[in-house]
């Protein structure tokens, strides 16, 4: 782990470890119920549709559309002070679940509901990779 990294880091659980391992391998993995097939995110132990505790993981397409967004200007956290403003987007993934992550290109004025985006990866420390969005070409 990079000693100078000042941003919050996730503490993976038994339920979420495959998600973080997937990101580190540049694969966007989401849970899918082994019994009924319903996709869910963020990772959780039980399927809310059929209550099965059996989980399988699927690799998501990384294609999505904008559901909403915010652009943060205030330094809420010292680790993000040099990144301001941060444009955070809420993305509807093709698999039917959502993801929130920074948008790496495009300005807030160019955004609209339903705008197509692709999910990409950024290796931020040894072992930690976070998702980011880019406007689809």
Contact footprint for another protein (CB under 8 A)? 7-13, 16, 41-42, 67-74, 76-77, 80, 83, 86, 88, 90, 97-102, 108, 112-113, 128, 130-131
DSSP secondary structure of 14-70: TTTHHHHHHHHTT--EEEEETTT--EESS--SS-TTT----EEEEE---EEEEEEEE
49 binds, among Zn ion, another protein, none (CB under 5 to 8 A by kind): Zn ion
Q: Among residues 33, 55, 101, 128, which is the contact residue for Zn ion, using CB under 5 A?
A: 33
The least distance separating Zn ion from the CB of residue 46, rounded to whole angstroms, comes to 9
Q: Between 55 and 119, name the residue whose CB sits nearer to Zn ion.
A: 55
The least distance separating Zn ion from the CB of residue 130, rounded to whole angstroms, comes to 28
In the three-class reduction of DSSP (H, G, I as helix; E, B as strand; rest coil), residue 109 is classed as helix
Rounded distance, CA 22 to CA 36, Å?
Answer: 23
Rounded distance, CA 46 to CA 55, Å?
Answer: 8
Provide the sign of the torsion angle of the four alpha carbons 110, 88, 134, 96, taken in this order: negative
Binding residues among 39-58 for Zn ion as defined by CB under 5 A: 47, 49-50, 52
Q: Between 56 and 68, name the residue whose CB sits nearer to another protein.
A: 68
The least distance separating Zn ion from the CB of residue 12, rounded to whole angstroms, comes to 23
């Amino acid at each position: 782990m990079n000693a100078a990294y000042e941003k919050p880091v996730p503490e993976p659980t038994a339920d979420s470890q495959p998600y973080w391992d997937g990101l580190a391998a540049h694969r966007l993995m989401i849970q899918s119920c082994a019994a009924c097939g319903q996709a869910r995110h963020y990772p959780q132990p039980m399927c809310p549709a059929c209550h099965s505790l059996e989980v399988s993981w699927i690799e998501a397409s990384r294609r999505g559309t904008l559901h909403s967004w915010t652009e943060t200007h205030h330094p809420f956290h010292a680790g993000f002070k040099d990144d301001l403003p941060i444009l955070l987007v809420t993305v509807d993934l093709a698999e039917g679940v959502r993801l929130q992550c920074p948008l790496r290109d495009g300005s807030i004025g160019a955004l609209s509901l339903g705008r197509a985006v692709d999910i990409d990866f950024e290796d931020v420390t040894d072992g930690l990779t976070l998702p980011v969005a880019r406007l689809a070409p």
